[in-house]
Structure 1
Amino acid sequence: MITVAMAAQASLTRGDQALVVSPYWPNIERAIQITGAEVTSFAQEQRNGRWFLDVDGLIAAVTDRTRLIYVNSPCNPSGWVMTPEQQAQLLEFCRARNILLLADEVYHRLVFEGDVAPSFLSIARDDDPLIVVNGFSKSWAMTGWRLGWMVVPANRLEQFMVMAQCFTTGAPTFIQAGGIAALQDGEPLVRELREQYRAGRELVMQRLGGHPRIEVLRPEGAFYAFPRIKGLTDSLAFAQTLVEQENVGVAPGYTFGSGFDGHIRLSFAQSHSRLSSALDGLLHHLDKTD
């Protein structure tokens, strides 16, 4: 999140607009709003049983005040993964209009087709208006270590080096050593986690996919599902009641952007037994409520 906040504060000011692909992690919106800029969301669609981003529509939503476009792929919470063709189209547009493209690729290694998700870095030029942020939190299960990196245009490197000194001074040496160990020796762990999450995804789809009140799309990456509960209009109240009555925690959909109050986010980064027990509680709760 620090890298996202740095990119926003270096690029936005009051009166600017940031176009954010939703659903999105709520702190993204807050990191942008700190600058005084306006956040405008552009929602992914459900199309042919998958989450889908209409890049043409996203481009059409750009105004003369748009200074930044934020996209997170693989996506928290939907599990959507951007295609190389979509990335090329969006980057070409941002290049032509000199709009900063902020690509959050923190779930880059956690995909279920292939080893990595498509990355903007594979098609970027040194001077593109592109910032790519990534980290150790997700792929190596190092969330509490708060260690990550950002790739910035060559002509803005000095600016971000100064900002990094102000924001963090520097990562503690033992954390840096942990990051080095992850890069050098952590590949077996990445593969193990990916297979664990794949099994969790299949369990979620198997248990929830046939329920009459649940519409769930198969995640392509990350470790979340973002099902829609038919008839649900207050996801916060639902989440609160669920944890009180069934001891099952989910994230309410409303917090991931406008139009998602009928959704909940659940994580399948759990053991089979714990995830199965949580799904039991969720289904039991749905079956006894309207």
Structure 2
Amino acid sequence: MSKRLDRALYETELLRLQGELVKLQEWVRDEKARVAVVFEGRDAAGKGGAIKRVTEYLNPRVARIAALPAPTERERSQWYFQRYVAHLPAAGEIVLFDRSWYNRAGVERVMGFCTPDEYRRFLRQAPIFERLLVEDGLLLRKYWFSVSDKQQEKRFHDRLDDPMRRWKLSPMDAESITRWEDYSRAKDEMFAHTDIPEAPWLVVDSDDKRRARINMIAHLLSSIPYHDVQRRPLHLPHRPPSTGYERPPMDSQTFVPDHAASLVAETQ
């Protein structure tokens, strides 16, 4: 385990990389490219934090997050990949999958939410599905956030003790502690079948979240041949002279209470 990255160094580099992500976004929009990024890994591995940093300065109309809930009864009757296809990017879009079709190879496999036949069918079809996507021109990146058992348990305890983050801890998360080796075996088998040249698995050591975030973003940027897109200069016009408009009386509108003023008064 490497020493935790210095905060000042992390924040400086993160901001630089986020500036490059904005350039990537403009290139994707200009070139009508399609980018799909899969975030997978154990519970509390840092996927959500990485996604948050990727999207922080991006246009949500260009870069969106796909975090699908449990399938409905109708969706369970469909081809397994069908509901994910609907969330794939169109031209000029980036989609970040906060968990993806690989649910079947992870939690569904370990917790018994799919049958052995459904699981084996997934392992056969996933590489075919991804090759079809790549062959059609979609830029697909798959990141696996790897966290140690000790670090995962520490993060679970941190969430349990923090009322602002307790919602992030579910009974399923707690059970993953007792099924650590089951998840390890499932991940190894998943890699053996789906780590293909057209869409390889890219492992991110995430025991240090700061290192994980900048390593993942730096790799994503390096893997796509984007360039700085020159935008048409934008100039703000001069405000035209008034034509006699008068605002309605202030007391005719309902304003929210000035909570900020009460804070200032309290400090004084």
TM-score computed with the length of structure 2 as normaliser: 0.35
> Quick check: which has more Rg, 1 or 2?
2
> Larger % of helix: which?
2
- Identify the structure with bigger relative contact order (alpha carbons < 8 Å, sequence gap 6+): 2
> Larger % of strand: which?
1
